[in-house]
Amino acid sequence: MLCLTLTGSTLEENRALVERNRKWISLAELRLDYLHPDEQKIASSFPSTVDVPVILTLRRSSDGGSCTLSEKQRLQLLYEAAKGDFAYVDIEDDVKKTDLKFKDPLFEQKVDLEQSLKQRHIKIIRSYHNFECVPADIFGRISKLAAKGDIPKVAVTPKSMMDVITLFRVEQELANLKEKIVIGMGEYGICTRILYKKCGSFLSFCSDSQAAPGHLSAQTMSTLYRADKLDEKTHIFGIIGNPVYHTASPKIHNPGFEAIRYNAVYVPFLVDSVRAFFKLAEMLQIHGFSVTVPHKRSVQPYLGRITREVKQIGSCNTVVRIQNMWKGTNTDYYGFLAPISEQLGKGEIKNALVVGAGGAARAVVWALHNHGVKVTILNRSMEHARTLASETMSTFDTLENAHLYNGNCELVVQTTSVGMGNLGNEECIPSFNFTGKEIAYELVYNPKETLFLKRAMEAGCTIIGGSQMLMEQGKLQFEAFTGYHYPHWIQADI
């Protein structure tokens, strides 16, 4: 189930949030701590106004919430709101049983909140939050939370791939607990939110406003990742990198899987240790994955086979499981060539300028070299340019000398990160003047139009954007992963 965390300041706002996300969610969590004080007083009426089961939560600021009331006031407010027809009420693990007894004006004696909830068949979620780490005793903590017959919920913060492995181990370690909620918060935890069933969790939270670190929207969880539809037979694929969440690759692969009705999901994994990820890959029986910076070299010692391109380039961007071993390939090589294959076939590209000398540049230079193109590498660091040039029998120069090559090449390829993110207002080779006869090829795909491309376009050049290469190499990965051609009728939103 996908549970939408409601962060509106009024009940009306929250009803609108449920309505807007209704097709993607199975239940909602009403966060009392986000509500205006006047709205908190009538919160008990909320469950009867929406058509999904509702969890009632009043989260303290120390647990990532917005409630700053005294503990006595907070629990009194929770008790009053819990008189509504909620399906679940969230109570933190450190709340003492004596603190849950209240004087109710309607009764002469004290009322026990837990007892009253159970009498009305409202389930209690017993929650533990840790924004610092994944505690070493997490399995014991979950068992202790479940001991009273409540639903245990742990929301912890993995800081490494080993922490992520611990969260995925919960299912096998505590398989006897049928109802539990296991959440990895923050960037490392996003894969646990998507693959929540693999952690043994019966729901995953989402929100329109990232109410907790790592929240994705309900639409993204349900339509892009189909998280609520994954089952034991689902093949898991992914992409590893650091950083990794800027990637558009899930928007290529997941719609492709759905189009051919292939039971699979493609998930981003933030990876600090390649060795640890391979452990996770065995544990989750991951069938294949894409590799982005900085891991294109470091995955290679773990591969049983590599292709000629990987050996030559020294860079691997695709790993697939074959015959109980991992095979590494490089689809960047062929993905780069696809948009210019016609010009190369006609011999129209004889000289090329390649800007940059990093991992992406290596694939580009080797691809051009193998097709008989004379390449000049322009780079800020002369040492990196010299190394790549000597390996590929190319020439090299500094970026400052770009103007010396005006009119001397048919292809200019921009392989650096200049043009994206914080470097969006920069240009990689401002001194180079396009004549209009060049093909300007940009590997950055976000934004779609960099200053490099804009200047080339104004000069009348043929333009190739980064999304074209991304799509072409993605199609080749898709074939390696599934054995099927990428569906031609799908227009990926990248």
For residue 417, pLDDT beyond 90:
no
Q: Is 402 annotated as a binding residue?
A: no
CATH of the domain spanning 240-333+477-482: 3.40.50.10860
Q: How confident is the model at residue 407 (pLDDT cuts 50, 70, 90)?
A: very high
Task: Check the annotation: does 419 bind a ligand.
Answer: no
Helix (H, G, I), strand (E, B) or coil at 248: coil
**At 108, is the pLDDT very low, low, confident or very high (cuts 50, 70, 90)?**
low
pLDDT digits 0-9 by tens, 237-253: 999 999 998 899 999 99
pLDDT bin (cut points 50, 70, 90) of residue 392 is: very high
359 annotated to a ligand binding site: yes
Q: Domain 340-471 adopts which CATH fold?
A: Rossmann fold (3.40.50)
Distance CA 109, CA 283 (A): 54
Q: Is 254 annotated as a binding residue?
A: no
> Does position 196 have pLDDT exceeding 90, yes or no?
yes
Residue 467 counted as an annotated binding residue: no
Structural domain spans, the chain: 2-230, 240-333+477-482, 340-471
Cα separation of 465 and 462, whole Å?
10
When pLDDT is averaged across residues 410-415 and rounded to a whole number, the result is 96
- Residue 323 has φ and ψ, to the nearest 5°, of 45, 50
Whole-angstrom distance, CA of residue 9 vs CA of residue 19: 16
User: Would you state the structure tokens that stand for residue 278, as one six-digit string?
Assistant: 């391979």
**In CATH terms, are 2-230 and 240-333+477-482 the same topology?**
no
User: What pLDDT, in 10s, does the model give residues 350-364?
Assistant: 999 999 998 889 999
Q: What pLDDT, on a 0 to 100 scale, did the predictor assign at position 104?
A: 66
C-alpha 388, offset from chain centre: 32
Taking residue 321's Cβ as centre, other Cβ atoms within 10 Å add up to 19
Q: How far lies 156's CA from each of 130, 179, 321, 475, in Å?
A: 5, 18, 31, 36
Q: How confident is the model at residue 323 (pLDDT cuts 50, 70, 90)?
A: confident
Is 473 marked within a binding site?
Answer: yes
State the amino acid at position 295 in one-letter form.
Answer: H
What whole-number distance in Å separates Cα of residue 250 and Cα of residue 254?
Answer: 6
Residue 419 structure tokens: 């043009």
C-alpha angle 365-247-473 in degrees, rounded to nearest 5: 45
> Is 398 part of any known ligand binding site?
no
Q: Using alpha carbons only, give the angle 237, 254, 25 rounded to the nearest 5 degrees.
A: 110
Task: State the pLDDT at residue 135.
Answer: 96
Q: What is the pLDDT of residue 418?
A: 84
Query: What are the helix and strand counts (H, E) for the chain?
Result: 17, 22
pLDDT of residue 113: 83
Cite the DSSP H helix spans in 176-307. 190-194, 218-219, 250-259, 274-284
Q: Does the pLDDT value for residue 2 go beyond 90?
A: yes
pLDDT recorded at residue 328: 97
Q: Residue 27: which of 5, 58, 49, 59 has the closest Cα?
A: 5
Residue 443 annotated in ligand binding: yes
Tokens encoding 105: 């004006």
Task: Identify whether the C-beta of residue 122 lies closer than 8 Å to the C-beta of residue 89.
Answer: yes
To the question of whether residue 314 is assigned a binding role by annotation, the answer is no
The set of long-range contacts for 375-381, using a CB threshold of 8 Å and a minimum separation of 24, is 375/351, 376/351, 376/352, 376/405, 376/409, 378/353, 378/354, 378/402, 378/405, 378/429, 379/355, 381/357
Active-site amino acid positions: 296
For residue 56, CA distances in Å to 81, 90, 210, 395 come to 8, 6, 18, 66
Is residue 14 within 8 A of residue 29, CB to CB? The reply is: no
Strands (E), 8-87: 27-31, 54-57
- What is the CATH number assigned to the segment(s) 2-230? 3.20.20.70
Whether 183 shows a pLDDT value over 70: the answer reads yes
Residue 220 reports pLDDT greater than 80: yes
For residue 463, the Cα-to-chain-centroid distance in whole angstroms is: 30
pLDDT, residue 356, reads: 94
Q: What confidence score (pLDDT) does residue 246 get?
A: 86
- 418-446 per-position pLDDT tens digit: 877 777 678 889 999 999 999 999 999 88
Q: Is the pLDDT of residue 266 over 80?
A: yes
Query: How many C-alpha atoms does 78 have within 13 Å on its Cβ side?
Result: 32
Q: What is the pLDDT of residue 321?
A: 96
pLDDT exceeds 80 at position 37:
yes
Q: What is the mean pLDDT of the chain?
A: 93
Give CA–CA dist 33/283, Å, rounded. Answer: 38
